[in-house]
Each structure stands twice: as structure tokens, then as C-alpha cells.
Amino acid sequence: MYHISPSLLCADQIELKQTIMDLDKMGIDWFHIDVMDGCFVPNFAFGTDIIRAVRGIAEAPLYAHMMSVHPMDFVKPFAELGADYYCFHYETTANPFRLCQQIQDNGMKAAAALNPSTPVEVLGDLLPYLSCVTLMAIEPGFSGQRFLPHTYEKIRRLRSLIGEKPVRIEVDGGADIPISMKCMECGADVIVGGYFTLFDKNESLRNNYRAYRKAQREV
């Protein structure tokens, strides 16, 4: 099942344990965990201790979105703390093949994220080594920003580049329910559930999840 990956950055951090247990029961693809180093993006998020604690209770896989200028340095520590997917930003490394190899040697699935200004074509030769591509629909660093509409066209181009390869497309940032549905029509598999969907504060998590699933059935 592919549809939504909740961004734990958007959850009420004090209630994180309950939120994780609720989401696991609802059925999600993976937990999207934003790791921010204060350098690649002007913000900090999710260190190793909290991720280890999340791993201790979460049933769904953990998808580490590494907004770090040194992705090579954290492969082993993230494997040891139980991350399932290790998603590096393509912009941060001159050696993406070596990095994918290291990620796989450490028992994780390799994924690559692209900033809004990075064309999908840069991934052409790397796709056979990737399990997922995260297309940023906002400049990374903060939740609650406006979705950049050229992302639709990038999803279509990436889908056609991927062809029959078993590579998923995840879209991250700014997606409300109508935008999420349109992204899926363009060929996305998973939408990061954040500020405008699952964690929309006007409704409960359960109602937000129901509304998302209902929209998916109606598309």
C-alpha cells in the first residue's frame, strides 16, 4: 500500500508516542523523519536519541530524510539505530554511487531527495541503485510552506525516467489533499503528510487521515 508518510516534524512533540501508535494502527507506508543539521537548512530536527526512541515503538518503517551536508558520516549510526530508508540530498554529495553502496552495505534502502531547483534528470544513472526519490515541493527546512507547482511536471518526468524500475516517488512539502491527489495522478506513490493534511490542527489526526483516504478512493 502506498499513499502517505507522516512527517513526525509536524506532530505535537509532547504527544509523539501516542501519535506514532495511532498512525501505526491507521496504516501508513513509513514514518518520514526529518533530520536537519542547521547547515544544509537553517533549522535543527530529530537527532539520533529521539529516532532510537521512535524505533523502539514504531511498527512501520523509518524513512530518514537527511538534510545534512555530510550524509556519508551518518550511514552507520542510522543503520545501527534501525532506520530502514536512508534518504540523502543529491545536492550534498559528489559521490552518490559510493553513498548508495554504503547505505546498502549497512542494510538500509537508499533514497535520494532533490531540492525544487534540481532537475530530475540528474538521477538518470543512479535510479537502479535507489528505492525511492523524494521530490521537494518546497525549499527544505520548514513545514507549512507553499507548494511549488512546477513539482507536478517534475513528477511526470521522473515517472517516465523510472519506467519499470522499482523506484517509488515521494513528494515532500506543502501538499494539501487536492494537491496530494494531483501529485498521485502525475505518478507519485507517497505524499509526505504534514501541516496541510494529517496534522491540520482544525481536525483530529483520525479525521484528517479519514478525509485523505476518502479523497483517494474518489480519485
Residues belonging to the active site? 34, 172
Give the chain's end-to-end CA distance (angstroms, integer).
16
Binds 143, which of ligand DX5, Zn ion, none (CB < 5 to 8 A, cut-off by type)? ligand DX5
Binds 6, which of ligand DX5, Zn ion, none (CB < 5 to 8 A, cut-off by type)? none
Window of 90-98, 171-179, 180-188, 207-215 that interacts with ligand DX5 by CB under 6 A: 171-179
172 near Zn ion, judged by CB under 5 A = yes
Return the number of the residue (10 or 158) whose C-beta is nearest ligand DX5: 10
d(CA 143, CA 10): 7
Q: What are the phi and psi torsion angles at 82 (to 5°)?
A: 100, 20
Return the number of the residue (195 or 209) whose C-beta is nearest ligand DX5: 195
Return the number of the residue (105 or 148) whose C-beta is nearest Zn ion: 148
Least CB distance to ligand DX5 at residue 164 (A): 28
Binds 48, which of Zn ion, ligand DX5, none (CB < 5 to 8 A, cut-off by type)? none
- Name beta bridge partners: 89: 113
The contacts of residue 41 (CB under 8 Å, 6+ apart) are 67, 140, 141
Binds 82, which of ligand DX5, Zn ion, none (CB < 5 to 8 A, cut-off by type)? none
d(CA 186, CA 203): 28
C-alpha distances in angstroms, 142 versus 9, 35, 42, 184? 9, 11, 9, 23
Least CB distance to Zn ion at residue 188 (A): 14
34 near Zn ion, judged by CB under 5 A = yes
Return the number of the residue (128 or 144) whose C-beta is nearest Zn ion: 144
Closest CA to 155 of 128, 179, 178: 179
172 near ligand DX5, judged by CB under 6 A = yes
Are β-strands 62-67 and 109-114 bridged in parallel, bridged antiparallel, or unpaired?
Answer: unpaired
Least CB distance to ligand DX5 at residue 99 (A): 19
